[in-house]
Structure 1
Amino acid sequence: MFNYYTKFQLFSFFYFALIISLIILYDSLIANISSKSIVFQININSLQPLKPPLANRPLFSTKEETNNEVYLKEEEEDYAHLVPPYNLSQEERISWFKKNLPYFEILKSTNISRKFNGRMNEFFTSHYCSVQFFMTWISPTKSFGKREFFTLESLFKAHPKGCLIILSHTLDSPSGTMIFKPLVELGYRILLVTPDLYFLFENTPSKSWFIDLKNGKKDPGKIPLAQNLSNLIRLAVLYKYGGVYIDTDFIILKDFSRLRNSIGAQSVDRNGNWTRLNNAVLIFDKSHPLVYKFMEEFALSFDGNRWGYNGPYLVSRVVEKVKDYNFSVLPPRAFYPMNWVRIKGFFNAKNDSRWIEAKVLELNEKTYGIHLWNRQSKSMKIEQGSIIDRLISTHCVVCNDI
């Protein structure tokens, strides 16, 4: 009786162990299949930059995921300090800026930022670039969303051998690398790099302005300083390296490689003479004297309290004064075929279908890129059949809802 009971116990134990082993093996097989599906989905679904791939893709260990979440939270908290309180006097704003200066990471010289020029030169040496594109991103990592990502897709659709350098101390991070990994895996040339403002502004008129700002001798203004820094950084990087600067709210339609030393008109009068230029797209050779004049004007007339004064209005002021600087002013249809006041019409499918069809054909023929005026359009829904919807389906690498 004792031997029989012992044998029964042993048989039950081994039978139970076998069942557990089969369950574990089954779960392992399912996990492998699922992980392969997720990787395939990421390659196909590259318009989902941060959240869907980040939520499903095991790029980090649990500890790394925790560190990443902490990093994003700290980054967001730091950015809360970058906008001055409303209704401060100039003296109070300067005092506020001095107090919050430690939170302005982009103004600091660090081990990472000091490698900027070396990383840039190594990137250009290692890659053939049909066009050198530059962007700036002085915002938290997680605010780089689907529309910004689509700009990159349309850029590489039109320039498969182009290079894109994004100057950003936030995207130059593990979190930023995850966002762009789908495009890098497709073979596109992208460099996320922390800018060295000391190097960029050295031997330019921007240096004195930057030093005064750091020493608390300049009023940063009530407009977020990041916006005005972007206006200046784009000029400095073009002056030092040459290429194309473009904002992150564009749909790129055509190859830029034949454009040289050009700036786009935002509006013209009845005679076709420009009335306002814009700095959302700038195309200039290295060390171009007009870009130097732009930086000079920035340093001399900086006003952080007036929207656009150090950007679109600045380039308009300078170009209005200069002559014989070897550059072209392109008509609005090149980059600004729809003014920001009327951009909603490009998102709306209720317009006459024949007009939409004719407009899409015209844009594909005559327009290099469409500025989406994200400040006005970011909350607009892209209606199916609208101009933007039609262009997205044609000019994306992997089409998806944005």
Structure 2
Amino acid sequence: MTRVLIFCLINWYYRDINPTRNDTNVFLVDTNCSSHPRYRAWCAVESWARQNPDLDVWFILTSLTMDDSTGLASLLLHQYTNLRVVGIDLDILFRDTPLLEFFLSRKWTVDTTWPIEVLSDMVRVVVLWRWGGIYSDTDGISIKPYNLSLNAVGVTSPGLLANGFLSFTSHHPILWSLMENIKRGFIAEEWGSTGPQVVTRVMMEACGTDDAMSLMKQLPFSCANVTIYSQLYFSPFNFMDTVLNFKSDGKKEFDKALNVSYAIHMYNKITRWTVVQVGWNSIYEIAAKNFCPLTFSRASMHSDFF
């Protein structure tokens, strides 16, 4: 009980996003309204804080409360002084953006299977617009300090750009275009209509092409003051094969990624129920042991899987 009370005080102190510096932030967002984020989300958060001590890492929650019964949140906040775990006032966040009317209309909650994901797609673009920096999904792990210039996106599959990793300076015009396109391009029954499809469409328009593959022939490629990087940089493992990230003996594949990649992406939509088996030396386990050691230790303390 003491741990919960202590964390409530910490969470109240950092109730909303209040960066003191632009373009030096890392944002991770949990829009599940859950008071108990999964260990994999905490692993992502810890990895970014650990690998990038000069950046301010913001773990943004839509939940009004935080369950710190495991003590992990308090431990991470104590260990990483660049980490903030914050709530968010969505009405204020979307104010003065193209997404305010769409957000207030609640159309994104009607006749769709993915309202949580749509909200996350909106929030990530707005926080980058306001404060700049890096956005990462909570199913990724930072495996290398980020030393690339901002204004970057990555490929997720042939002909499609990702929105699970984005980096932009604040008020970059591409971000404004993304907000406008999310509002216009929302299709309730279509996965990704406010995510990768929007990023791809906006970049195609900005680069003056109607052929997405043409943007990806020679990477890195720059246009509209944005650099497009190959899939190896931020999501080196293909989403169709991502369950292999949890299979045994993944060291060889992990070492390949470590040579080039800045992060690995676990594609939670596909793998959320895939168990991390402790001791199997899977790609995920190797990454977690090395880049989110406190989270891995806590997750594996009482169980051989999580």
Q: Same fold (TM over 0.5)?
A: yes
Amino acid at match of 2:121: N
Q: Deviations over 1:37-93 (max 9, x none)?
A: xxxxxxxxxxxxxxxxxxxx64368xx9xxx9xxxxxxxxxxxxxxxxxxxxxxxxx
Q: Is the 8 A contact 2:114 2:191 kept in 1?
A: no
Which residue is equivalent to 2:60? 167
- In the TM superposition, residue 148 of structure 1 has moved relative to its aligned partner by 1.3
After superposing the two structures, state which structure 1 stretch, 176-185 or 369-378, moved more. 176-185
Distance 1:237 1:391 in 2: 27
Q: Is the 8 A contact 2:131 2:170 kept in 1?
A: yes
Matches for 1:96-175 after TM superposition, within 5 Å = 119-121=16-18, 124-125=19-20, 131-170=24-63, 173-175=65-67
- In the TM superposition, residue 302 of structure 1 has moved relative to its aligned partner by 1.6
Q: Is the 8 A contact 1:297 1:314 kept in 2?
A: yes
- In the TM superposition, residue 129 of structure 1 has moved relative to its aligned partner by 9.1
When you count strand as a share of all residues, which structure comes out higher?
2
**Which residue, 240, 254, 258 being the options, matches 1:364?**
258
- In the TM superposition, residue 175 of structure 1 has moved relative to its aligned partner by 2.7
Amino acid at match of 1:322: A
Q: Relative to 1, partners in 2 of residues 1:313 and 1:58: Cα closer, same or farther, differing over 3 Å?
A: same
Q: Relative to 1, partners in 2 of residues 1:385 and 1:314: Cα closer, same or farther, differing over 3 Å?
A: same
TM-score (norm 1): 0.62
Matches for 1:17-96 after TM superposition, within 5 Å = 58-59=2-3
- For the residue of structure 2 that corresponds to 1:279, the secondary structure is strand
Structure 2: runs of 5 or more not aligned: 208-222, 301-305
Structure 1: runs of 5 or more not aligned: 1-56, 69-111, 269-274, 351-355
Which residue is equivalent to 2:117? 227
Aligned alpha-carbon RMSD (Å): 2.8
Which residue is equivalent to 1:6? none
Which residue is equivalent to 1:259? 149
Q: Deviations over 1:263-293 (max 9, x none)?
A: 110123xxxxxx1111111100000000111
Q: Is the 8 A contact 1:129 1:163 kept in 2?
A: no
Which residue is equivalent to 1:250? 140
Over alpha carbons, which structure has the higher Rg? Answer: 1
Q: Is the 8 A contact 1:131 1:159 kept in 2?
A: no
Among all aligned residue pairs of Structure 1 and Structure 2, give the percentage whose two residues are the same amino acid. 22
- The yes-or-no answer on 1:330 pairing with 2:224 is no
Q: Relative to 1, partners in 2 of residues 1:250 and 1:240: Cα closer, same or farther, differing over 3 Å?
A: same
Which residue is equivalent to 1:185? 78
Which residue is equivalent to 1:378? 272
Distance 2:199 2:38 in 1: 28
Amino acid at match of 1:386: S
When you count helix as a share of all residues, which structure comes out higher?
1
Q: Relative to 1, partners in 2 of residues 1:349 and 1:218: Cα closer, same or farther, differing over 3 Å?
A: closer
Amino acid at match of 1:59: R
With a CA cutoff of 8 Å and minimum separation of 6, indicate the structure with the bigger relative contact order: 2
Q: Is the 8 A contact 2:155 2:161 kept in 1?
A: yes
- For the residue of structure 2 that corresponds to 1:120, the secondary structure is coil
Amino acid at match of 1:329: I
**Which residue, 286, 289, 292 being the options, matches 1:396?**
292
Q: Relative to 1, partners in 2 of residues 1:129 and 1:160: Cα closer, same or farther, differing over 3 Å?
A: farther
Equivalenced residues, count? 275
Amino acid at match of 1:312: P
- The yes-or-no answer on 1:298 pairing with 2:182 is yes
Q: Is the 8 A contact 1:261 1:328 kept in 2?
A: yes
Amino acid at match of 1:167: I
Distance 1:313 1:321 in 2: 12
Amino acid at match of 1:134: F
Q: Is the 8 A contact 1:265 1:276 kept in 2?
A: yes
Q: Relative to 1, partners in 2 of residues 1:226 and 1:244: Cα closer, same or farther, differing over 3 Å?
A: same
Q: Deviations over 1:291-318 (max 9, x none)?
A: 1111011112222221111111111121
Distance 1:314 1:129 in 2: 25
- For the residue of structure 1 that corresponds to 2:130, the secondary structure is helix
Distance 1:184 1:167 in 2: 14
Q: Is the 8 A contact 1:253 1:395 kept in 2?
A: yes
Distance 1:373 1:338 in 2: 9
Which residue is equivalent to 2:202? 318
Which residue is equivalent to 2:191? 307
